[in-house]
Amino acid sequence: MSKKVLLVGLKASVVDYDKWPQLSVEKLEAAFEAVLHELSGLGYESRWCLTDTGETAEQQLVDDLRQFQPDIVLVGAGVRTDADHFLLFERMVNVIHRDAPQARIAFNSIPQDSVQAVQRWS
């Protein structure tokens, strides 16, 4: 049985690209797809939980955790490293802890190192 990975990040449409000048909507969406493709090729079952930055983000994560029941949850740098999203990050970590206590938690620094972050906890 393959390990299940839930990748948590912000929808490309809500990212502040002034803070991430190396990215664009197109580059970020392509990176999201590339991560899924690479993880699939390595035998992982994975999906993205892409949220907004508001109140629906927490409930979306709860729903995805309960439906998918991942072995590993990766929280992306867009949520984790942007000071504007500090409280969102804190809420997400607590939701993961509460609703997926069996899951390992991983963090990437950019979309392109997501696979390495997942593999650290496989």
Give 83-118 pLDDT, tens digit per residue: 999 999 999 999 999 999 999 999 999 888 999 999
Measured distance between the N- and C-terminal CA atoms of the chain, rounded to whole angstroms: 13
Residue 29 pLDDT > 90, yes or no?
Answer: yes
Are 104 and 73 contacting, i.e. CB atoms less than 8 angstroms apart?
A: yes
Architecture of domain 4-120: 3-Layer(aba) Sandwich (3.40)
Q: For the chain, what are the domain ranges?
A: 4-120
Cβ-based burial of 21 (10 A; exposed 0-12, middle 13-18, buried ≥19): exposed
User: How high does pLDDT run on average in the chain?
Assistant: 95
